[in-house]
């Protein structure tokens, strides 16, 4: 009897093992992240990646996507065109991600979308790419962004500078899609408002010295330098050498210059009262308040860091689109995006993943109201937005309330 029991147990165990071997494991729902772990915005990207991971952890704690575990697959673009294409190719064709959060730098987003993601029918939502060139990109409706275009930021920056009584500036901008686009709208608006640009030069990234360029810019007599670049790249070198040469009194930057690492490198005492700029911000809204209650302690990421609100929203929107599509079919996910982001529908936001899934399963419409604002995507995958002024407070850069600039 004991011998028969052992044989029966062995046979049963073998049958179970065979059944498990024949049944494929439930695969993760893969979402790609095209970040810039190396390159000129590393201090910003550290926090952006951290908030994306927090969003994925939040989703998994509430049951996952389509009942499966969500996995964030990260890749590095280094804010470089070719590196971005290679990274996107790996995410899409090797890792087989369903959709992508990113890229971040416009110069990485445009080529990775045009050359890889769009041909493969893969949805991309950038939390930080702001180049005006993205607006009219032929993307077959696969490229979206939750940050407003620099066509608006350049306008706001120029108006802000003029409002401070600064009528004469020198302008230098990085030679890429971001720099050229932002400089163009700033230049046009500033001159139309009666301002004078006494020196106007493009600059290249990764140079050891910009002293000759700075000397030429200073010959026009401006005591304020508008510097459009990346804080951890050309930005810190240009400002350091300008301060050493005593060439400019004030420094003005866009969103790419808002990094505490720059203040650490140059000293808050050298910059306080002489360094300010603009950045997309989040209007006061219930989702922002809820988000702060969830993550304001700073344990998951540095709360309030540039583009963390947008990165959270981009991650959640992709996850909701997959859930709404009911599968990981890439075109279906793209088609579901506006159904979860645009009104009408029952409002969901941070911390509402389980509620959103329940509503979707019940056939109800949902409307994701983001931390960084309402993401009512237009026909070109764009959203409206508001901007804030940032400046040196204590030993860090802090942003103020949304600017009221018409």
Q: How far apart are the C-alpha atoms of 159 and 406, rounded to whole Å?
A: 9
Helix/strand/coil for 278? strand
Q: Would you give the distance in Å from CA 119 to the centre of its chain?
A: 22
SS3 content of the chain, % helix, strand, coil (to 5): 45, 20, 35
Average pLDDT rounded to a whole number, residues 281-303: 96
pLDDT of amino acid 406? 80
Classify domain 151-279+387-402 at the CATH topology level: Rossmann fold (3.40.50)
Q: How far apart are the C-alpha atoms of 299 and 51, rounded to whole Å?
A: 10
Question: pLDDT tens digits, residue range 302-311?
Answer: 999 999 999 9
pLDDT of amino acid 209? 97
Q: How far apart are the C-alpha atoms of 221 and 197, rounded to whole Å?
A: 10
Better pLDDT: 163 or 385: 163
Q: How far apart are the C-alpha atoms of 108 and 227, rounded to whole Å?
A: 21
Residue percentage of the chain with pLDDT more than 90: 91
pLDDT of amino acid 15? 44
332 has a pLDDT exceeding 70:
yes
Contact of 124 with 57, CB cutoff 8 Å: no
Average pLDDT rounded to a whole number, residues 86-91: 98
Average pLDDT rounded to a whole number, residues 8-29: 49
Looking at every residue in the chain, the average pLDDT score rounds to 93
Q: How far apart are the C-alpha atoms of 255 and 131, rounded to whole Å?
A: 12
C-alpha distances in angstroms, 400 versus 14, 156, 278, 286?
66, 14, 10, 18
Q: Which residues contact 383 (CB under 8 A, 6 or more apart)?
A: 145, 146, 147, 148, 373, 374, 375, 376, 377
Question: pLDDT tens digits, residue range 94-121?
Answer: 999 999 999 999 999 999 999 999 999 9
Helix/strand/coil for 26? coil
pLDDT of amino acid 26? 55
Q: Which residues contact 254 (CB under 8 A, 6 or more apart)?
A: 150, 153, 157, 182, 228, 277, 278, 279
C-alpha distances in angstroms, 219 versus 16, 199, 248?
81, 8, 11
Better pLDDT: 4 or 121: 121
Residue percentage of the chain with pLDDT more than 70: 94
Contact of 197 with 187, CB cutoff 8 Å: yes
Q: How far apart are the C-alpha atoms of 297 and 288, rounded to whole Å?
A: 14
Quote the tokens at residue 8: 């029966």
Sorted by where each begins, the domain ranges of the chain are 29-149+286-374, 151-279+387-402
Quote the tokens at residue 197: 């640009």
Contact of 347 with 367, CB cutoff 8 Å: yes
What residues form DSSP beta bridges with 402? 388
pLDDT of amino acid 58? 98
Question: pLDDT tens digits, residue range 215-270?
Answer: 999 999 999 999 999 999 999 999 999 999 999 999 999 999 999 999 999 999 99
pLDDT of amino acid 386? 93
Q: How far apart are the C-alpha atoms of 205 and 93, rounded to whole Å?
A: 31
Q: How far apart are the C-alpha atoms of 297 and 161, rounded to whole Å?
A: 34
Quote the tokens at residue 96: 């087989």
7 has a pLDDT exceeding 50:
no
Instruction: Say if 29-149+286-374 and 151-279+387-402 have the same CATH topology.
Output: yes
Q: Would you give the distance in Å from CA 40 to the centre of its chain?
A: 14
pLDDT of amino acid 235? 96
368 has a pLDDT exceeding 60:
yes
Class of domain 29-149+286-374: alpha beta
């Amino acid at each position: 009897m004991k011998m028969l029991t052992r044989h029966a147990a062995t046979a049963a165990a073998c049958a179970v093992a065979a059944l498990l071997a024949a049944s494929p494991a439930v695969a993760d729902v893969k979402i790609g992240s095209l970040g810039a772990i190396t390159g000129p915005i590393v201090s910003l990207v550290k926090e952006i990646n951290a908030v994306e991971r927090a969003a994925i952890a939040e989703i998994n704690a509430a049951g996952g996507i389509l009942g499966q575990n969500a996995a964030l697959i990260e890749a590095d673009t280094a804010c470089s065109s070719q590196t971005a294409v290679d990274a996107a190719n790996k995410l899409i064709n090797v890792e087989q991600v369903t959709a992508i959060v990113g890229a971040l730098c416009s110069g990485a987003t445009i080529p990775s979308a045009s050359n890889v993601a769009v041909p493969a029918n893969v949805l991309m939502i950038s939390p930080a790419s702001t180049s005006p060139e993205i607006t009219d990109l032929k993307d077959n409706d696969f490229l979206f962004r939750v940050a407003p275009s620099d066509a608006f930021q350049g306008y706001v920056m120029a108006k802000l500078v003029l409002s401070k009584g600064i009528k004469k500036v020198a302008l230098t901008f990085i030679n890429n899609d971001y720099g050229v686009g932002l400089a163009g709208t700033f230049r046009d608006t500033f001159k139309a408002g009666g301002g004078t640009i006494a020196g106007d030069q493009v600059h290249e990234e990764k140079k050891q010295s910009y002293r000759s360029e700075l000397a030429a810019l200073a010959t026009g007599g401006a005591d304020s330098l508008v510097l459009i670049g990346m804080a951890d790249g050309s930005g810190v070198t240009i400002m350091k050498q300008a301060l050493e040469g005593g060439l400019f009194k004030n420094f003005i930057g866009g969103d790419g210059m808002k990094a505490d690492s720059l203040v650490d490198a140059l000293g808050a005492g050298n910059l306080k009262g002489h360094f300010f700029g603009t950045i997309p911000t989040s209007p006061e809204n219930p989702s922002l308040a809820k988000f702060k209650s969830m993550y304001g302690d700073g344990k998951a990421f540095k709360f309030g860091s540039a583009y963390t609100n947008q990165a959270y929203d981009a991650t959640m929107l992709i996850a909701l689109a997959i859930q709404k599509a009911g599968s990981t079919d890439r075109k279906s996910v793209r088609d579901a995006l506006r159904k979860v982001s645009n009104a009408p529908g029952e409002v969901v936001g941070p911390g509402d993943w389980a509620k959103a899934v329940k509503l979707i399963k019940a056939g109800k419409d949902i409307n994701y109201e983001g931390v960084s604002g309402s993401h009512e995507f237009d026909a070109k995958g764009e959203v409206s937005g508001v901007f804030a002024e940032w400046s040196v407070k204590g030993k860090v850069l802090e942003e103020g309330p949304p600017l009221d600039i018409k």
